[in-house]
């Protein structure tokens, strides 16, 4: 009897939980089984790397794509690499050109890379490609077709639906063109796998099941998420930072059903303080989300989750966001997060908060960190994020599994030299959070033919 019940349980429920699992059908081509010899592979990577003055400040995403790219070359294939950078919204923006990273990609691959300045005009270059050779296409998002959203027309406009239909049609042509360059498509852009775009999903229609596959990074990332979710060791502590409650509310609510403790830090702190009528000076706040903040507190209480919010902060009137420095002669003080003087802005967690964060992380067995605790890009305001990073490193040394995701937290971990002291660094931000929410990523679904 018990066995029958268990069997029914597996049949009925396990597939729903296993949506992101890779090993689902035998029809799905595996990159390790594919014969790349003499084949041209178009590979979607996420090379949306942070740049300052044209120089890459964190190359985690380039390094992340290397195993797939090198595997294809070693097996006698040639590469057409494609990616987006930033949000040019269908316009050519030189500061978002992938041409800036061609040399870095070539150095990382150890082989020359030829840059093609228009992703829709690479026919000749692709046709001439020989085994071992590499092309890098210009930013896909210079064309609105990549995202597939009509530009320059409001959603409220009566003509919007027509424009959307037209855009969807031209998106197919755009994807078909990209597909025409190659014999197979490899999806390895985990950081963009939550987007249903031309190069991450629509292009799948132009390859049969034997000639499209996930890359090694995708396999690894999805596996890491599955490991955390299928085998949560407790206590499970999540740390969510960043500026807005609104952009994280979905994952926060979801995590409140999974974690034992939730630390909310960064700019969100002040929306919570304001929701309790705190004085937050010039700090970042979402005045229309005060009820959302109170709702989070309610839900945490209901679910028995320990919610840890910053009680104090470092505040200043002199942070220059362009240079990420404090103007000489400015005020920098420590004060309660709900008693910030009118002319100051909270920019980092204060010492009391740092202590509380450390205590909450101590002894954790599963840790998820997304989003910094302060403006860590400025050297004066790294203390909050550093306290979190150090505590995670310590807990990891004591056996916790720690998963760090999101460009900013990854940059923190790298800036503090903690990269090899955490268990897993994801190349995904939004994609990681959506995977943890249990959503099927469109980039994964495209390969599985869903
Ligand atoms: C990211 O950095 O979040 C990914 O590259 C996806 O970019 P997007 O959020 O602009 O789609
Ligand atoms: Mg993003």
pLDDT in tens, 157-204: 999 999 999 999 999 999 999 999 999 999 999 999 999 999 999 999
Give pLDDT tens digits for 345-372.
999 999 999 999 999 999 999 999 999 9
Q: Does residue 12 register a pLDDT over 70?
A: no
Mean pLDDT for all residues in the chain = 93
Mutate to test the pocket of ligand 1, among 47, 86, 191, 433 (most ligand atoms within 8 A of CB): 191
- 53: confidence class by pLDDT, cuts 50, 70, 90: confident
Atom of ligand 1 nearest to the CA of 87: 10
Measured distance CA(369)–CA(346) in Å, rounded: 21
67 pLDDT band, cuts 50/70/90, is very high
pLDDT given for residue 15 in this prediction: 37
DSSP 327: P
Whether 244 sits among the annotated catalytic residues: the reply is yes
pLDDT in tens, 392-426: 999 999 999 999 998 789 989 999 999 999 999 99
Question: Which residue is closest in CA terms to ligand 1's atom 11?
Answer: 192
Residue 26, pLDDT score: 54
The atom of ligand 1 lying closest to the CA of 430 is: 3
Distance from the alpha carbon of residue 16 to the mean position of ligand 1, in angstroms: 27
Task: Please write the tens of the pLDDT for every residue from 206-215.
Answer: 999 999 999 9
Q: Which ligand is nearest to the CA of 200?
A: 1
Per the annotation, the verdict on 61 as an active-site residue is yes
| Mean pLDDT value of segment 9-33 | 56
For the segment 226-235, the average pLDDT, to the nearest whole number, is 88
- What pLDDT score was predicted for residue 57? 87
Mean pLDDT of 138-151: 97
| Predicted local confidence at residue 230, as pLDDT | 85
Q: Residue for token digits 């505590």?
A: 391
Give the per-residue pLDDT at 17.
40
**Pairing status of strand 312-316 against strand 345-349:** antiparallel
pLDDT tops 70 at residue 22:
no
Q: Calculate how far, in angstroms, residue 192's C-alpha sits from the geometric centre of ligand 1.
A: 6
* For ligand 1, mutation pick of 46, 47, 48, 426 (most atoms within 8 Å of CB): 48
Residue range 47-71: average pLDDT? 93
- Ligand closest to Cα of 247 equals 2
Rounded to an integer, what distance in angstroms lies between the CA atom of residue 301 and that of residue 315?
Answer: 29
Task: Answer yes or no: is pLDDT of 313 > 70.
Answer: yes
Backbone φ and ψ for 147, nearest 5 degrees, come out as -85, -25
What does DSSP assign to residue 421? Answer: G
Which residue has a Cα nearest atom 1 of ligand 1? 191
Q: Which of 241, 429, 430, 443 is catalytic?
A: 430
Which whole-number Å values give the CA distances from 53 to 56, 85, 140, 370, 413, in the listed order? 9, 15, 21, 26, 22
Sequence-ordered list of residues with C-beta below 8 angstroms from that of 130, at least 6 positions apart, any chain: 78
pLDDT score at 402: 95
Q: Is the pLDDT of residue 2 over 50?
A: no
Give the pLDDT band of residue 3 (cuts 50, 70, 90): very low
Point out the least confidently predicted range of 7-11, 176-180, 223-227, 348-352.
7-11
**Which residues form ligand 1's pocket by a CB distance below 6 Å?**
46, 48, 87, 191-192, 195, 407, 429-430
Instruction: Calculate mean pLDDT across residues 230-255.
Output: 92
Cα dihedral value 192, 135, 65, 36, nearest 10: 110
Distance 100 CA to ligand 1 centre (A): 18
Say if residue 8's pLDDT is above 80. Answer: no
- Say if CB 136 and CB 114 are below 8 A apart: yes
Helix, strand, or coil here: 74? helix
358 is catalytic: no
Say how many Å lie between the CA of residue 280 and the centre of ligand 1.
30
State yes or no: pLDDT of 16 exceeds 60: no
Active-site choice (61, 386, 415, 448): 61
CA distance 85 to 104: 15
Identify the nearest ligand to the CA of 84 by its number.
Answer: 1
State yes or no: pLDDT of 449 exceeds 80.
no
Per-residue pLDDT averaged across 26-53, rounded?
93
Catalytic residue among 75, 244, 358, 439: 244
- What pLDDT does 4 receive? 41
Mean pLDDT of all residues in 319-343: 96
The Å distance, Cα 441 to ligand 1 centre, comes to: 14
Kindly report the pTM of this predicted structure: 0.86
Q: What is the CA radius of gyration of the chain?
A: 23
Residue 11 has pLDDT above 50, yes or no: no
C-alpha 54 to ligand 2 mean position (Å): 20
Q: Which of 191, 215, 242, 407 is catalytic?
A: 407
Query: Which of 47-56, 208-217, 251-260, 339-348 has the lowest average pLDDT?
Result: 47-56
The pLDDT tens digits of the residues spanning 286-305 come to 999 999 999 999 999 999 99
Q: How many residues make up the chain in this entry? A: 450
Give the number of other CB atoms < 10 A from CB of residue 94: 9
């Amino acid at each position: 009897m018990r066995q029958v019940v268990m069997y029914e349980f597996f049949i009925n429920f396990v597939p729903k939980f296993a949506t992101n699992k890779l090993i689902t059908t035998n029809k799905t081509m595996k990159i390790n089984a594919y014969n790349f010899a003499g084949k041209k592979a178009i590979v979607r990577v996420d090379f949306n790397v942070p740049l300052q003055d044209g120089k890459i400040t964190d190359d985690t995403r380039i390094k992340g794509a290397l195993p797939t790219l090198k595997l294809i070359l070693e097996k006698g294939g040639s590469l057409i690499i494609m990616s987006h950078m930033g949000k040019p919204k269908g316009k050519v923006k030189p500061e978002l050109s992938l041409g800036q990273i061609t040399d870095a990609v070539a150095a990382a691959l150890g082989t020359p890379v030829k840059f093609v300045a228009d992703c829709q005009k690479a026919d000749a270059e692709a046709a001439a490609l020989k085994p071992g050779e590499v092309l890098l296409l210009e930013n896909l998002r210079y064309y609105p077709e990549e995202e597939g959203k009509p530009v320059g027309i409001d959603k409220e406009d009566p003509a919007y639906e027509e424009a959307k239909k037209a855009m969807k049609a031209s998106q197919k042509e755009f994807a078909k063109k990209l597909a025409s360059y190659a014999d197979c498509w490899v999806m390895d852009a985990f950081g963009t796998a939550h987007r249903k775009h031309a190069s991450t999903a629509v292009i799948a229609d132009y390859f049969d099941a034997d000639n499209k596959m996930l890359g090694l990074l995708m396999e690894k990332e999805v596996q890491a998420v599955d490991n955390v979710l299928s085998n949560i060791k407790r206590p499970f502590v999540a740390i969510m930072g960043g500026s807005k409650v609104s952009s994280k509310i979905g994952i926060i609510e979801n995590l409140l059903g999974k974690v034992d403790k939730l630390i909310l830090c960064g700019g969100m702190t002040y929306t919570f303080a304001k929701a309790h009528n705190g004085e937050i000076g010039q700090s970042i706040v979402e005045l229309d989300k005060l009820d959302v903040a109170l709702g989070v507190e309610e839900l945490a209480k209901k679910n028995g989750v320990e919610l840890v919010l910053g009680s104090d902060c470092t505040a200043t009137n002199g942070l220059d966001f362009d240079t990420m420095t404090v103007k000489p002669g400015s005020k920098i003080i420590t004060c309660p997060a709900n008693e910030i003087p009118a002319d100051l802005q909270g920019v980092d967690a204060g010492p009391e908060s740092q202590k509380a964060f450390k205590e909450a992380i101590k002894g954790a067995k599963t840790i998820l960190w997304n989003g910094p605790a302060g403006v860590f890009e400025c050297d004066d305001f790294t203390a909050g994020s550093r306290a979190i990073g150090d505590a995670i490193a310590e807990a990891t040394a004591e056996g916790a599994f720690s998963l760090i995701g999101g460009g900013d937290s990854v940059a923190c971990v790298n800036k503090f030299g903690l990269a090899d002291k955490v268990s897993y660094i994801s190349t995904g931000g939004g994609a990681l959070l959506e995977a943890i929410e249990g959503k099927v990523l469109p980039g994964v679904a495209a390969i599985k033919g869903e």
